[in-house]
Amino acid sequence: MMVLATNNPHKVAEISPMIFSEGFECKPQQSFFNGDVEEDGMTFLENALKKARYASAQTGLPAIADDSGLEVTALGGQPGIFSARYAAGTTGRASDEQNVEKLLEQMAGLPYAQRRARYSCAVVYVEHAEDAMPLVGVGHWYGEILMQRRSEQGIGYDDVMWIPNLVKAVSEIPLDIKNRMSHRAQAVQMVLNQLKQKVQA
């Protein structure tokens, strides 16, 4: 049994089936405790590790955590680790709608050739809170930022993140396909592959 270190129901819905499909069990952290650790790291990896260690310390169980966001080339990698609070600055949180509006404003007038972006994700698994050799996975999903919302739906920046090889915005991609191709799916699977090797060793 491992703790899935998130209170985000969308992440639980995306990550849990992958864990179960590989023969492992997990429960979201809200099954054990309430509260979040402060995400004050300078990288996705630092934040994911901090969340995993916190959840493990709270429960005494192994824990898996992710941190992810959108990186836009023309904006020097922004919003990056501040993706969830982009419109609010470095403190507090903003709604998905506010974040998307700020992104579109920042990129107004840029041609598609300058609208390259990627979703990035770091996933960390720890056996215990003091684990000196955590398992780490990293994933990227490349695309372009649209000039306007596609469907007025989707989570985070999904409604303006266009995936050229699928000819769809992320918000239009069926969940089963998204859960196989996304940055988060790549990173989680990388960790699960390492965990299977560890168990079999």
Q: For 86, how many CA atoms within 13 A lie in the half-sphere containing its CB?
A: 26
Average pLDDT of the residues in 161-186: 94
Beta bridge partners, 71, equal 79, 118
Q: Which residues are catalytic?
A: 67
Taking a C-beta distance cutoff of 8 angstroms, is the pair 155, 172 a contact?
Answer: no
d(CA 59, CA 40): 22
pLDDT digits (tens, 9 = 90+) for 26-81: 999 999 999 889 889 999 999 999 999 999 999 999 999 999 999 999 999 999 99
Question: 149: pLDDT confidence band, cut at 50, 70 and 90?
Answer: very high
Banded pLDDT at 175 (limits 50, 70, 90): confident
- Mean pLDDT (the chain, rounded): 94
CA 169 to chain centre: 17
Mean pLDDT along residues 154-161? 93
Report pLDDT digits (tens) over 77-130.
999 999 999 998 655 678 999 999 999 999 999 999 999 999 999 999 999 999
The domains located in the chain, with CATH, are 2-200 (3.90.950.10)
Choose the weakest-confidence range: 57-71, 81-95, 145-159, 186-200.
81-95
The pLDDT value recorded for residue 28 is 96
- Which pLDDT score is estimated for 2? 98
Does 140 score more than 80 pLDDT? yes
pTM for this model (two decimals): 0.93
Which is nearest to 26 in space by CA: 48, 11, 46, 44? Answer: 11
